[in-house]
Amino acid sequence: MSPAFVNRYTPPIPPPEILPASSEPHDINYAFPLYSQTLTSARVRLEPFVPTLHADALWAGMAPHAPELFRYYPIAGTKESWVAKLEDIRQQPECITFTIYDRTRNGAEGGDGEIAGMVSLINTSGADLKTEIGFIMVLPAFQRTHVARTTVGLLLRYCLEPPESQTPGLGFRRVAWCANSRNAPSIGLARRLGFRDEGILRFTWVLPNVDYLNAEGTEVRRRFVANNGEVVERTEGWARDSATLSLCWDDWQDGKREYIASIIQG
């Protein structure tokens, strides 16, 4: 009797350990339109992350502060882990990473602002009209300024405004914000911008075995009966619990559009 099913699954190709250098334009592999006017304000602009343009400057700003900057994230604070995560995001056509520019400062080579950080749209579903603002990282020199709140405001406008709007967007219905449940500054920023608490999702991320990440995680300690009948108890690793918030289309049209506009305008 022939089998009822087969399994032709093959593992995906792992991301490169280093960002490839190329004279060719970088393929952002993004399924949705980009509206530069919606992603730009007088003080902040967002543009797609391009390794050859942005990686060195971003890492130079992150590296001296890596343990503190990465402590609430589910990736180790090394360039290799960071690069692999960005490539993983790029390979998902409904997700994208942006470089944040502070337009109130001039970069080393002049131009339209200084690189201030990065942010991604992840866990996106065009079919369900939803996304999540994630992996936001503002460099220390730009923290406690207008950069973080304006960046999030621009992304909310981009995600929630309809395509026919004066500031066209994607017309999504839901924007989520998921932070380490111990990351009070991140949760506080989301609340101040109008995100609504939805609860704690337990064990949402596996943490790499890094002391400063585990310190902000939850221990996974398994207990089971082994084949020999003995009860085994062991630490399997560490995980992240995530505080989940959202700002949705109804919040947007019931006052949050105007509130976020005031933040964007400064």
Residue 1 has pLDDT above 80, yes or no: no
CB 26 within 8 A of CB 51: yes
- The structural architecture, per CATH, of the domain 44-201+244-265 is 3-Layer(aba) Sandwich (3.40)
H helices, E strands: number in the chain: 8, 8
Asked whether residue 266 carries a pLDDT value surpassing 90, the answer given is: no
pLDDT digits (tens, 9 = 90+) for 245-264: 999 999 999 999 999 999 99
* pLDDT value of position 144: 96
Tell me the two tokens of residue 26.
């970088």
Q: How far is CA 55 from the centre of its chain?
A: 16
> In whole numbers, what is the pLDDT of the chain averaged over residues?
94
| Percentage, residues of the chain above pLDDT 70 | 95
Let me know how long the chain is.
266
> Does the structure show a pLDDT above 90 at 54?
yes
Of 76-85, 108-117, 190-199, which one has max mean pLDDT?
Answer: 190-199
CB 49 within 8 A of CB 118: yes
42, two tokens: 């007088």
- Which tens digit of pLDDT belongs to each residue from 84-126? 999 999 999 999 999 999 999 986 555 689 999 999 999 999 9
CA distance 48 to 81: 20
What is the predicted pLDDT for the residue at 19?
58
**For residues 224-242, average pLDDT:** 96
d(CA 150, CA 25): 28
| Domain layout of the chain by residue ranges | 44-201+244-265
**10 Å Cβ neighbour count for 163?**
10
pTM of the model: 0.91
Using the structure block, give the residue that is written with the tokens 């990736």: 75
Is the pLDDT confidence value at 65 over 90? yes
Give the bridge partners for 175, in sequence order: 131, 247
Element (H, E) at 147: helix 147-160
Point out the least confidently predicted range of 6-10, 92-96, 203-207, 227-231.
Answer: 6-10
